[in-house]
Amino acid sequence: MSDPLRLTLVGASGLVGRSVIDLAAFDPRFRLSALVRRAFPLPKGARIEVLVVDPADWRDALGHFEPQLVVCALGTTWAKSGKSEEAFRAVDHDLVLEVAAAARAQEARHFIHVSSVGADMASKNFYLRTKGEVEQALGKLKFKRLDILRPGLLRGERESDRRVLERLGIRAAPVTDLFLQGGARKYRSIKADRLARAIASLASEKAAGRFVHEHDELKRAAGRLDRELERRQR
């Protein structure tokens, strides 16, 4: 059996990050670690090494793990940023790129970044424009493999309260998704645990290059992991 893949997660306390931990911390294929700003509860029996470090020191801290793969699930919301473009950009742009540059300096071969459907640096929407700018900048770092994930509405239990309209949107998503056909399929919602399965599946991909994954490809990647886990259980 080959050595486990050294996977370092940033953005571990969010919805996607916690879903990745729930999966990868119990998968022997991974040696999981995480950089966090503050401690948070972990699943019982999780095999994960966590460093609680100020983000200003993440570049040096990343060297402790010597990751082969870095999964970036960092992100804030417009509300949490105090509706400040500067505060939002400090996390979703600056901190993401600082982590990516540190990963590149540590010779990580693979970087997986959770972006957003509709990301476009030419967008008039500040959120989507910021996401698009990050995607472009990540491409310039020349990782051997870069996976950009563009999920739609994320479904799952968050620790913080969601806004009323967001909660209603999540409840209605299984129905409204049915009306999103053709080119609009990329806007369909996805459960956070399915996105985590897609991440775990993409972690084992060897082909070099930059790959962008929207809804259908994320679902296919998650399905590949399902089949692999079923095969291992036989």
The burial class, CB within 10 Å (0-12 / 13-18 / 19+), for 124 is exposed
Domains and CATH numbers, the chain: 5-160+191-233 (3.40.50.720)
Contacts of residue 179, defined as CB under 8 A and 6 or more positions apart, other chains included, come to none
Structural contact between residues 151 and 119, judged by C-beta atoms closer than 8 angstroms: no
Two structure tokens written together for 78? 């417009």
Distance CA 84, CA 6 (A): 36
pLDDT per position as a tens digit, 125-177: 999 999 999 999 999 999 999 999 999 999 987 765 555 556 666 677 777 87
pLDDT per position as a tens digit, 169-180: 667 777 787 888
Which residues are paired to 190 by β-bridges?
Answer: 154
